[in-house]
Amino acid sequence: MNKFRKIAALAAALSMTAAAFTGCAEKEGADVNTTTETAAETVAAEQKEALKIIYDEIKTEFGTVDLSDYPLTASDVPVDYEAVYEAESAEMAGSAAAYANDSASGGSAVNGVNHGEKDSLTFVVNAEYTGFYDLNFICKSGDDAKRENYVNLDGEKIGSIICRNNGVFGDSYLKNIYLTAGEHKIAIIPSWGYTDYDCLKITANTSITADTYKVTAPLSNPNADDHTKRLYKFLCDIYGKYSLTGQYADNGRTSTEFKRIYKQTGSHFAVLGMDMMNYNSGSVAHGSDSNTVEFAYDFYTNGGGIVTLCWHWHSPVEYQVNDENNPWYKSFYKEASTLDLDKIMNGEDEHGYELLMQDIDLISEQLARLRDAGVPVLWRPLHEASGGWFWWGNCKPESYIKLWNAMYDKMTNEHGLTNLIWVWNAQDPEWYPGDETVDIISTDIYAGNLVDSSFSGSFAQLAEVPGENKLVALSENGCVMDPDKVMDTNSRWLYWGTWSDPFTLKNGFLNDEYTSLETLDKAYQSDRTLTLEELPDLKNYPLE
C-alpha cells in the first residue's frame, strides 16, 4: 500500500467504527442525543490519536532521508577528446543552405535555419565513447541580439543554445550531454533563427563532478535564523542525491493541484510555490488582496513542507499603462508599464526609485509575518529578467543588478528578514549580482509538450555561473522531468516547480498535454525524489 494511503484506510476504518458506535447507542435508547454526542467525542479522540500514531510511524519510516552518496554516472570520454563536424557537411532541411565564407573553419558556413516548422541543421556524429560531452556550436548573429535556438538529440529536445557574436563566429556551448557510443543526430531547430553556423566541436565534459554537489558556502545572510539555517542545511545535504517535488498552487494545501496530484500519485509535493503579486501598491490600489502568507504559514507549520515565493511585481499605479490592451494587472510586463529602470537606478527618476522602495517595504512587511512565525522562505524576486518581457528586465543588466542589491540590502539589513534564502533566476550570467547576495541559482524551462528531458546543458551552464558552488534548481517548468534522466545525466536539480494552468491543470483536472500521467506517477514515486510525506522534521533538522 502507498505510504500515505494507509492513513486514509485507517481513517476510513475508524470512521466506520464511529458510525457503528453511534448506531448502537441510538438502538439502546434512553437519551439518544447525549449518548451519541458522548460516543462520537470518544471515537473522535481515539481516531485523532490513532491517526497521530500512524502518521508519526510513517514520518519515522519515510521522513528519515538516506543521505549516503549517490554516485555520478561514469564517463569513458578521454579528457583530451575532440571531434569537429562542419556545418556544410551536415543534413540541411527547408531553407538551410551552405555558402562560402572565408572566416569559417572549412571555408563555408550554413544560414537559412530560421523557421522551426520546416528548417533544421542536423549533425550526424559518431561518439567514440560512452559518456559526457560538451557541444560547442560555432555560430554568429548579424547583430548583438541574443538569438536562442533549440537543440534536439535523436529527436528529443535537450536544451538550447544562445548565439550573440555580432557578426563574428564564436562559441555557443551546450555542456554535459550524455552520449552512448555510436551514431547520433544532433539537430538545431530554430526558435529565433537567423543565425549562421560554422561547425560543431565536441569535447569531453569536465565541468560536472562529484564536487559540484558539495555546497559548503554559508547563507548569504550571516544573521539568518535557525529555521532558515536548518532548511538550508537540509537542502545542502540532499543536493545531488534527491530532487524535491514542487508545484505552484495559489491556495496551498487547499488547492486543486494539491488534491489532484495526490489522487493521481498517492503523494503530495514537497515544495509549494506561490506569488506575492497582490501585496504591492500597484495591486492593492485596484482592490487586490491575498492569503499567500497564510497559505505559506500553513504549508510549513502544519504541513511540514517547503515554501518558495516569487513576485510578479505590478508597476506602481502612475507607471501603469492601464488601457484596453494593457490593463493594470499586466503591468509587470514591459508593454503595460512605463517604468524605465535604467533611469530609476542611475538617479534620473528619483520618484520612481522611491515608489519601488516603498513596494519593497510592503512586501517586506508580509515576509516579516512569516519570519515572526518561524517560516523560512525560498525567495525568488526579479525572475526571468534576461528574457526582457518584464519591466525589471527591460533594461541594462547593471540596472537590474543595482535593483537586486538594493532589495537585498533593504530586506536583509533594514527590515531584518532573517528567514530568506535568496534564489536568483535572471537566467543569464551577465545578470548575476554576485555570490554575496545569492544562495540558490535557478532557471525556468518551458520546453513544449511531453518533454521529459533533464536539460543537463542548462544545469551545467548554471552550475558555472557563481564563483563558488551553489545549489542549482529548476524554479519553474512546464513539463515534469523524468527522475531517472535527472540522475543518470548528472544534472541533479535540487527541486522543480511546475506551473499550474495549463501545465498542471485544465478545467480543474490534471492536464496530461504537458506531462503524461505515467511520467507524473514516476516522478512522485521515484526513490530519487522527495515528496511532502518523505521530508524530515525541518523545524528540528540538525545543524551539525
pLDDT tens track for 463-509? 999 999 999 999 999 999 999 999 999 999 999 999 999 999 999 99
Give the pLDDT confidence score for residue 49 in this predicted structure: 54
**Residue ranges covered by each domain of the chain:** 5-62, 82-204, 304-438
Q: What does pTM read for this prediction?
A: 0.88
Closest CA to 537 of 71, 17, 213, 58: 58
Q: Does position 20 have pLDDT exceeding 50, yes or no?
A: no
Residue 425's H or E segment, with its range, is none
Q: Does position 9 have pLDDT exceeding 80, yes or no?
A: no
pLDDT digits (tens, 9 = 90+) for 274-286: 999 999 999 999 9
Average pLDDT over residues 324-347: 98
pLDDT band at 394 (very low <50, low <70, confident <90, very high): very high
Give dist(CA 287, CA 465) in Å, integer. Answer: 40
Average pLDDT over residues 383-393: 96
Residue 243's H or E segment, with its range, is strand 243-244
Give the pLDDT confidence score for residue 544 in this predicted structure: 85
The number of angstroms, rounded, from the C-alpha of 501 to the middle of its chain's C-alpha atoms is: 16
Average pLDDT over residues 339-355: 98
pLDDT band at 63 (very low <50, low <70, confident <90, very high): low
Give the pLDDT confidence score for residue 61 in this predicted structure: 46
Report the interhelical angle of 517-525 vs 256-265 (nearest 10°): 80
Instruction: Indicate which residues carry an active-site annotation.
Output: 384, 476
Give the pLDDT confidence score for residue 432 in this predicted structure: 98
Q: Does position 48 have pLDDT exceeding 70, yes or no?
A: no
Closest CA to 467 of 487, 437, 422: 437
pLDDT digits (tens, 9 = 90+) for 129-175: 999 999 999 999 888 778 999 999 999 999 999 998 778 999 999 99
Average pLDDT over residues 77-94: 98
Q: Yes or no: is domain 82-204 CATH 3.40.50.300? A: no
Q: Does position 445 have pLDDT exceeding 60, yes or no?
A: yes
Average pLDDT over residues 339-364: 98
Give the pLDDT confidence score for residue 17 in this predicted structure: 38
Asked whether 446 and 513 are in contact (CB, 8 A), the reply is no
* β-pair type (243-244, 246-248): unpaired
pLDDT digits (tens, 9 = 90+) for 193-248: 999 999 999 999 999 999 999 999 999 999 999 999 999 999 999 999 999 999 99
CB-based contacts of 414, cutoff 8 Å, min separation 6: 364
Give the pLDDT confidence score for residue 109 in this predicted structure: 97
When the pLDDT of each residue in the chain is averaged and rounded to a whole number, the result is 90
Q: Does position 84 have pLDDT exceeding 90, yes or no?
A: yes
Asked whether 199 and 138 are in contact (CB, 8 A), the reply is yes
Give dist(CA 332, CA 394) in Å, integer. Answer: 11
The SS3 assignment for 76 reads coil
Instruction: Dig out the grid coordinates for 298 from the structure.
Output: 500553513
Average pLDDT over residues 343-356: 98
Give the pLDDT confidence score for residue 45 in this predicted structure: 54
Give dist(CA 509, CA 366) in Å, integer. Answer: 31
The number of angstroms, rounded, from the C-alpha of 108 to the middle of its chain's C-alpha atoms is: 40
CATH fold group of domain 304-438: TIM Barrel (3.20.20)
Asked whether 129 and 78 are in contact (CB, 8 A), the reply is yes
